Structure formats: structure tokens, C-alpha cells
Structure 1
Amino acid sequence: MINMDMVGENQTLCGSTFQATRTPDSVPSYLNDVLSSGLDLLLGSPALPGLEPSATWAITSPSGTHEPWRAGLTPFSGGSDHEVFMGGGIQVPATMFGSWPDFFYHTNEDTPDKCDPTALRRAVALAMITAGSIANMDAASAIDFSDRMYARARQRMGLDLVRAVETLQAALPGGEDLGEALNLVAHGFERESGALSSLLRLFPGEKSLERTVARHVEGLRLERESAGREVRALSLALSSRRKVSPSHVAAGLSPEEKEAARLVPGRLPDFPGPLADDYVALKLEHKRIPYRNAFPGAAGFEIGAFIDGRRSVLEIRNAVSAECGPVRLEDVREYVQKLAAAGVIVLKKADL
């Protein structure tokens, strides 16, 4: 699903940059790499005065500007119609095309003269490239595309390793959180292997594609194991340099983690999509239960989206922490319990 929200702005007048959002990690998808390839194609052919006819993808309009296009693929963000296609029980990959920041957003100066036909044409071109690439993909081209996805996935997992290293290095001496660093590496594998596997939904039962994807996922698994060893080695080296006791990941779960690992939230048929915070607050108010949302923005969306009847509260906390930044386990557990009290999810206890 392509949600074209704020497109066609004059970037110079509005101070804006065109943004295509990635799907959230709760919906890992090939769509992100299709978008990235389309942006690479369009940005690789800048509009140069007098040379537009010879640059196939230098998209301009006779009545618009001929300025370079500021555009990029950005992390998931909500606030528009694409959210409802992905929240929890609805797993349709979706992106939002928009422009931000905008000097005139929701002001009386937000008028048609701030539009640029060239910017609108470029947004439409990206939408057509994206939709056309998916619609015209066959099994053979999906195999070729999976090779490119695999290469990009390794790059992104490399960035996950950078975050893990920075997490260890930024900690105060003796406060290195090896578990949090390893969680970043593990989550990166889950995200990228999920995106590769999403290609199989386009061609169910296509054995050659299944074998190729399985080979790539195995390559990512080896990458994850190698990164994990590097993180552990760095943790030991940091401890030695800082003259503190090495940070260890506990052999077993803490009592709090054990309890969270047993709690498995599930969806109710009446609430398959995103869990609207205002609705939850209203339901709890009627029951005289105090409520404060500790997770505005993407983190709150993702906690709800990861609720699928299979993941535990601990697994949800780990996934959201890796994607959105560290969140406290007790806050996630309390939030999920409030959702259950509001009657929008069910909460079951599983055996470890």
C-alpha cells in the first residue's frame, strides 16, 4: 500500500525533504528494498539544465522547478492512513510518501503557490516504479531481487553491529549492557530474514525461490553469529581496558524476565488493527483505572503491532528496544496489562 500524504511541495519554499517511510519491523517486507531501488534510480539521474532529455529518469515538469530532488527512505512513522494496514492482525506492507519539515504546515500560508509540479511528478514516478516493479515481478526476477536484498541486508546488519558497539562503548565503566548489545544483533537478523522471507508470499510453492531465500537466510544467520562473537569479544576488551569486572549475560532469566516470558498477549477479533490510545484511555476511564501512555510514537505502535498471540511480553520488549531505543520491561508489561484491562487484547500465561 502506498499512502501519498504530503507530496508535490516546493522544497525550496517549504524547506522540506521528500520522505518514503520504511515498514515497521513488525512488518518486515521486500517493499523497503523496492522503494530503495526506485529512489536510487531517480536520484541517480539528477535534473541538469539542458540535459533532461538525455537523462531518462531526470523527472521534471515544464511548469515546475528543475532543482535537485532531496529525497530518502526514512524509518517508519505513523500519523496517517498507512498505519491501519499494518497494526497487529493486519499485515499489509505499507509506506507513506510525505514531505517534512514544512514551514507552512497547517497555517494560513499553506496555499497552492507552495506546490511544485516537478515534485509531484517525481513522487508519482516513484509510486509507479514501486507498484510496477511488484506487479510485474515473476519468480525469476524475484530470485534476482533476493540477491540484491541479501546484499543490502548484510549492510543493514553491519549498522546493527555498529549500534551494538556504540551501546557498549557509551556505557559507564562497569555498566556495559552486553545483553542489550546482543539484542540489537539478534533483532537485526529477525528483521532481515523476515524481509527476505516475505518474497515467498508473492510466489507460494516456488521451489527455486524457496531454496534461494533459505540460502540467503542461512548466510544472515552466520553473519549474526559472527557479529555476536565480535560483541562479546569487545565487551571483554572494554572490561579489561576499564579495569572492571566483565559484563556477562545471565545464564538464566531474572525473576522479572521469567514472568514477562510467560505472559503472551493476543489479539481479539474486534481489534485487529492499531490500538488507538484515546480509545484505550476512554475504556479505562470508565473502569476508573488510571492510565498514562509511556510510549508515544513508533514505540507504542510497535508494542501493539507485535502482539500476535505468539510473542511474549519479554520478546515484545526486546524487539521494540532494538527498533526504537531501550524501553523498560516493567513499563511494557504494565502497558500490556492496561490494554488487557481495557478489553482490547487478551493476556494468557504460557509454560516456560
Structure 2
Amino acid sequence: TRTEQVELQVPQCVIKGSDPAAGEIIITAHLFEGYVKMGANDNMSGSAVILEVARILNDLIKSGRIPPPVRSVRFLWVPEFSGTIPWVNQNLERTRKALCDINLDMVGLNLRESRSFFCFHRSGFSTASFVNDVMESYFRFVGETNVEGITDNLGRRGFACRIVAPTGTDDPFLYRILSLHGSSDNAVFNDWSINVPGMKMITWPDNYYHSSEDNPDKCDPTQLRRAVFISAAGAYTIAVADDKMAGRILSEQYSGATVRLGIQMAKSADMVYNAGINNLSDVYKRACYNLEGVAMAEKSAMEKIRQISENPEVTAMIETRKTAVDNILKEHLSALKEIMIRKSSYLNVPAVNLVTDNYEKMAMKIIPVPTRKAATMGYGGDRRHISSLPQDFLSKYRYSRIVNTSETAGMANGKRNLLDIKKMVDAQFETESPLQDIVNYFTVLKEAGLMKF
């Protein structure tokens, strides 16, 4: 065997929007991952689906059945990571103006036979955006309308809006809505150096993943057709969104925000219920902080509606919905306090007095903002700049306990302080990132010339 240097190509096509300054919707699928990793589901399925999405949207627009988009829709068939990273870095200005990346990685598996789900991974809190709710709404639509039951939410039996291929299964749509996950090309866009919402669609688990058994017979034409519909509908909705659509999307966002805050409330309550004498104070503080972190992310996502509308009425709606989120947060924190008081009574210890300690007060005074150097470094630039710092300095300011450094750095926007950033990071992951490490990390980024505060 031998290894050779070759030129990797990134095929692409664009459905041009009417406003070149309005940003793009980027749709990606990796056409190549490695000679021993090329399979039908991974990822000829994703590559085929986005080709079909491009064909369908182009035909519908050219035939006059749907209006041309305001924003361009760009399709990229990339060598996974090895092609995505160079393309993004060579098109940095264009990429950073994009509204999102929709990444399709392994989307064709026969779900029932593989005991799998079609998973939608939202982008992280650092790139919180309305685009997540747009895509999620289409997953839920297909899920609600392609399932059998005595009755469904539409008051009918059977599939209400059938999406089935002639040669495919007649199975219900099995899907999951999940949080941030990388390990594919969406991670490049989510990286704090790019800071574009990167969402991932994937069938998982896949028993044939990276094996010689990943053949076309494992895929389901019905699943592929549903992936085409969700991708095309989601991308087109974002591409044509105007003032009227902005209001509808904001309503969808707010609905989802109330659900996600409710889920976090249940998690926070469970944390307090399971706390013991020795950790009740710390657990209660984190439970409250997690709720605050989710609320901040939801409001940040609502702010992104301004990317598609600057209408004063829409702006007023954004502020109203953000206030509503704050009110929900207050109710949840009040309820959580009652749970804590009851728990402390059971443990026969004093109720926790939630206070901001001195180190947290110090962190609240640090409000980082990325520098011009950070804005132009491209993907991977932070690691190059950090590695050039003196080793004794890096040894002094360690940050290895941060769960996700990219999410952490991506929170810096000149408005959030380091305690806010910690809350938003911790709310996404089970493992807590120590505030000391977060302070150290931003100290390192400042020394590298990538942050200022």
C-alpha cells in the first residue's frame, strides 16, 4: 500500500436568491470519507438526497409553481472534514454570512428493520437560531402525519399526509429531536471560528456503519423520500422567509421554547429531589443556573429573527416573546425554590440561600468579545494561535475540564459575561464545566489575541 497526495474537489451548485446580501442556506453531504468508509447509507444516501432536493427546488421554481427564493441555497458535496474545512476557509466571508448549514449524514436507513430513528440534531446554544425550529417543525409534521393510530391530533385515522415511495416501506416515521452533536461536517460550521448554526440529520443507530455491509439493500426509498421532503421544505422556508413568515416562525419558536424550558424545569427539579445533605447547595445552584442558561439561549434564538425581518411589528413581537420567556423562567425558579425548601426539610437542614460568591462576581465583570483576528482566522486558527503561546503560560491557565471549548468561546458576543457563558454551557451538558477553567480559557484566548475584555 502507499499514500499519495491528491487534489480533493468540492462539487457545488447554487439556486440563486433575489438578494445577494441576504445570506445563504448551505446544504452539505459528504461524498467521500475514506476508501474503507464509503457505503450506501454512509453517505451516498445524504449525497443523493441533496441532489434530489436541488433538482426538485430548481424544477418547482423554474416552472413557476413556487416563487424564487430571496436567499440563495447552496449545495456542497464535500470530502468529510478534509474538504469542508478548506472550502469554508476559502469562502470565509460568504460562509459567516450564511443563515445555517443543513448537513445530511446517513439518512436512508430502513428504520424499522434497523431499530433506528431519523435523528435531528439542533445546533448548540452558541449558534442558537430560529432555523432549528423551522427544521424541527418539519420533522414533527412528517412524524404526526405518517403514523397509524386509533386517532391522531388531526382527528383522523391512518396517515394524514402520506409520504411513501412506491418501492419503499409503508412504515410510520420514527424520529428523534436531539441536541448538539458533531462528528460530521456540521461541526465545522458550529465551530466558534465560523459561528454558523450547523444542524445534522442522521439515521442512528446504524448496525452497518463503516462496514462492508453498508449496501443499498439496507436503505429504504420511503425514508429517502421523507428526507428529501424535510430538507427541501426546511431550506426553502428559510430561503423565502419575509416579514409575514417571520411572525409565524417566531410563534413556532416561542411554542418550542415553552416546551424546552418545561423539560429543563423537570430536569432541574429531579436534580434537587436527588440531592443529598452534602451537595444540596451546589446542586440547587446548578439547577437554577441551567434554567437560566436555557432561557438565555431561547431569547438569543429569537433575536436571530432579525436576520429575516426588520419590520417594527416583528421587532416588537420579538421583545414581547422574550419578556414572556423571562416570566416563564421566574415561575420555574419560584417552583424550584419550593422544591428545594421541601427537600431541605426532608434532610433536616436549613434551606439554601442562593448567593453569588466572590469568584462568580469577578467572572461577571468579564465580558469578552472576539477580536478582528478571531473573525478572520478561519476554522482551526484558534488552535494554531494557542499552540504558539509559551508552555509555562498554558500550564498556568489550564482549561481541560471544559466540556466543549468551541461552544464556550462561541458564547462570547460582547454582551454575555463569563458567568452567563458558564450557565449556557452547563445547561447543554451533563458534566459541569468549572468556572475556573472558563476564566482560564478566556485568559488564554486573550493572550492569543483572539478575545478582548
Same structural fold, with TM-score higher than 0.5 when normalized by the shorter chain: yes
Which of 247, 257, 282 is the equivalent residue of 2:360? 257
Match of 2:228 in 1: 124
1:103 to partner: Cα distance: 1.1
1:77 aligns with 2:77: no
1:243 aligns with 2:312: no
1:22 to partner: Cα distance: 0.8
Counting only pairs closer than 5 Å after superposition, residues 140-151 of structure 1 correspond to structure 2 as: 140-151=244-255
Inter-partner Cα distance in structure 2 for 1:175 and 1:163: 16
Pair 1:274–1:333, CA change in 2 (3 A)? farther
CA contact (8 A) 1:274 1:305 kept: no
Match of 1:51 in 2: none
CA distances 1:41-99 after superposition (whole Å, capped 9, x unpaired): 21122277xxxxx9573222223233222212211111222223233353433311112
1:202 aligns with 2:308: yes
How many residue pairs are counted as aligned between the two chains? 337
Inter-partner Cα distance in structure 2 for 1:339 and 1:31: 29
CA contact (8 A) 1:265 1:345 kept: no
Match of 1:40 in 2: 140
CA contact (8 A) 1:160 1:185 kept: yes
The percentage of counterpart residues that share the same residue type is 25
CA contact (8 A) 1:277 1:293 kept: no
* TM-score normalised per structure 2: 0.66
Match of 1:233 in 2: 338
1:315 to partner: Cα distance: 2.6
Inter-partner Cα distance in structure 2 for 1:79 and 1:280: 23
Inter-partner Cα distance in structure 2 for 1:287 and 1:228: 43
1:243 to partner: Cα distance: 0.9
Which sits farther off after the overlay, 155-164 or 111-120? 111-120
Q: Give ranges in structure 2 of 5+ residues lacking alignment.
A: 1-100, 149-157
* TM-score normalised per structure 1: 0.83
Inter-partner Cα distance in structure 2 for 1:74 and 1:7: 15
1:92 aligns with 2:196: yes
Match of 1:307 in 2: 412
Inter-partner Cα distance in structure 2 for 1:211 and 1:281: 42
CA distances 1:7-35 after superposition (whole Å, capped 9, x unpaired): 11222454432111112111221112212
1:213 aligns with 2:318: yes
Which sits farther off after the overlay, 77-86 or 306-315? 306-315
Pair 1:232–1:281, CA change in 2 (3 A)? same
Match of 2:327 in 1: 222
1:260 to partner: Cα distance: 3.1
Inter-partner Cα distance in structure 1 for 2:323 and 2:369: 30
1:3 aligns with 2:110: no
The SS at the match of 2:119 is: strand
The aligned amino acid for 1:209 is: V
Match of 1:28 in 2: 128
1:275 to partner: Cα distance: 5.3
Inter-partner Cα distance in structure 2 for 1:167 and 1:295: 21
The aligned amino acid for 1:17 is: F
The aligned amino acid for 2:116 is: S
1:106 aligns with 2:213: no
